[in-house]
Amino acid sequence: MTASWGGFGFLWNRNVATVYIRPQRYTKTFVDGTDTFTLSFFNGDFRKVMTYLGQTSGRDADKIVKAGLTPHNFEDTVGFEEAEMVFVMRKLYQATIDPEKFIDSSISEHYPEKDYHDMYIAEIVKVYVKEN
């Protein structure tokens, strides 16, 4: 899954990342099924690959093979050899966004299907940086 909603920070005395996944995303099945996941970051040469990955569901095609990416085991979870950086994450917290708590009601326009994201806060366990 490609993602643009999220961020990095410091919480509970840990370096963390926050990511948001809609309930219908196939990736959510994998994230919910384990304690760890990866965040893989690619350079600009992979822009077309990222567009393809964002527009195609893994339910419909083996999009990783079609995208030409090589899965790689990082600390018992999967990232990609072609990534410039891979963050290994351990889940700490999960919650579904509650529309009743929107202070700015215009945010609701991002949810016409009422498919509110699940928010995950995860600790950064390790970071791999590709050597050039």
Task: Tell me, yes or no, if the pTM score tops 0.85.
Answer: yes
Would the pLDDT of 45 be above 80? yes
Q: What is the pLDDT of residue 16?
A: 98
Residue closest to 36 by CA, chosen among 112, 71, 88: 88
Would the pLDDT of 60 be above 90? no
88-131 tens-digit pLDDT: 999 999 999 999 999 999 999 999 999 999 999 999 999 999 98
- Please report, rounded to a whole number, the percentage of residues in the chain having pLDDT higher than 70: 100
Domain 6-129: top CATH class: mainly beta
Q: What is the pLDDT of residue 131?
A: 87
Mean pLDDT of 41-59: 90
What single string gives the DSSP state of each residue in the chain?
-----EEEEEETTEEEEEEEE-TT-HHHHHHHTSSEEEEEE--GGGHHHHHHHHHS-TTTS-HHHHHT--EEEETTEEEETT-SEEEEEEEEEEEE--GGG-SSGGGGGG-TT--PPEEEEEEEEEEEE---
Domain ranges of the chain: 6-129
Would the pLDDT of 1 be above 80? no
